[in-house]
Amino acid sequence: MTPPHSPTLTPADIARIALKRLAELGLPPTPENYTKFYNAIAAIKSPTDKSDEELKSAYQVLFRVSDVLDDMAETSESLLADLERGGEMMSQSLGVIRSTTDRKRIEDALNALIESTDSVCQTVSSSQRDLVELKQAVDKIQSDLAINRKTLEQDPLTGALNRQGLEHTLSKEVKRARRAGHALTVAIVDLDEFKQVNDRFGHLVGDKVLLHFATVVKAVLRESDTLVRYGGEEFLLLLPETAGEGARFLIDRLRQVNAKTPFFHQNNHIDIRFSTGATQLRADENGHAMLIRADEAMYKAKNGGRDQVVYVD
């Protein structure tokens, strides 16, 4: 069944982690650095669910984002200030040219105007180089963010999405279903008697069973479908553009493929059976309400004798 959520970090916990990260990266614990890291850590959901290396990588990317934003602000302020000064000097020179017929004053004003124009050109050119470098930094950060997001939202054992990844995907699919008027079905699959596998063969073998089953599920799902490691031995299937009959067909197909793909450990056949609860998104509910109804249907399948599917409208 689904394990309990990790406890929420207190402000004191976040502060302690922030100071630790600063020390690890060799950064001075200035108020500015501390604030950046504190905010970065507080922005990451369920940090205790992630490994130290995953978190450190995420913090580094977030810290670089803050630095780039600071550089952009500084570059923009400098450019605007230089352009303002150049504009004032040009206006003064043009004012002199318009108001006098003295050749010497006009010549001096023209020279000042040329110098101001040249200074503005150099400022724009320099700022352009800075902005190009900043764009390259942003592109690199975007790439790192994509990698970190995938890592943070992926179950390390099975390669399926974890609950954090589900949050983003569920919201996106619900909006897409509403916009296009398509059906959206979710199925929660719970392996039957999985505790007996762990008790008899150990947790390492139990992990292999989970990985094997996840591989079987991926072979059955379409490219547009999503597999989520929903709990310890629970998986969630998010099925866009799929109504009741399509979901039943897919789950029947999963049963067939699972039966034809047995799992063996040291010549021992470990039978993998599962109970499933499935339901379709209603017009008057959000994605989380749909998940609750699917979870209730799965428990009905469990209480009804296991190794079956319960579909609720």
pLDDT digits (tens, 9 = 90+) for 261-311: 999 999 889 999 999 999 999 998 999 999 999 999 999 999 999 999 999
Grouping H, G, I as helix, E, B as strand and the rest as coil, residue 276 is strand
Q: Rounded mean pLDDT of 250-255?
A: 96
Under DSSP, the state recorded for 256 is H
Single out the residue in 152, 185, 214 at which a domain terminates: 152
Q: Looking at the structure, tell me whether residues 169 and 228 fall in a common domain.
A: yes
Find the catalytic residue in 74, 233, 241, 296.
Answer: 233
170 by Cβ neighbours in 10 Å (0-12 / 13-18 / 19+) ranks as: buried
What's the rounded Cα separation, in Å, for the pair 232 and 162?
Answer: 11
DSSP string, 129-187: HHHHHHHHHHHHHHHHHHHHHHHHTB-TTT-SB-HHHHHHHHHHHHHHHHHHT--EEEE
Positive or negative torsion for Cα 112, 118, 124, 126: negative
Q: Is residue 296 part of a domain?
A: yes
Q: Supply the range of the domain harboring residue 244.
A: 163-312
Active site residue 296: no
Residues 275, 302: contact at Cβ < 8 Å?
yes
Q: Looking at the structure, tell me whether residues 142 and 171 fall in a common domain.
A: no
Considering only residues 45 and 77, tell me which one the structure prediction assigns the higher pLDDT: 77
DSSP run (H or E) holding 261:
none
What's the rounded Cα separation, in Å, for the pair 173 and 180?
Answer: 10
pTM for the model: 0.59
Single out the residue in 152, 180, 210 at which a domain terminates: 152
Grouping H, G, I as helix, E, B as strand and the rest as coil, residue 306 is coil
Single out the residue in 152, 187, 221 at which a domain terminates: 152
Q: Is residue 8 part of a domain?
A: no
Q: For residue 228, how many other CB atoms are within 10 A of its CB?
A: 23
pLDDT tens-digit readout, 75-107: 666 666 666 776 777 777 777 777 877 778 777
pLDDT tens-digit readout, 239-252: 999 999 999 999 99
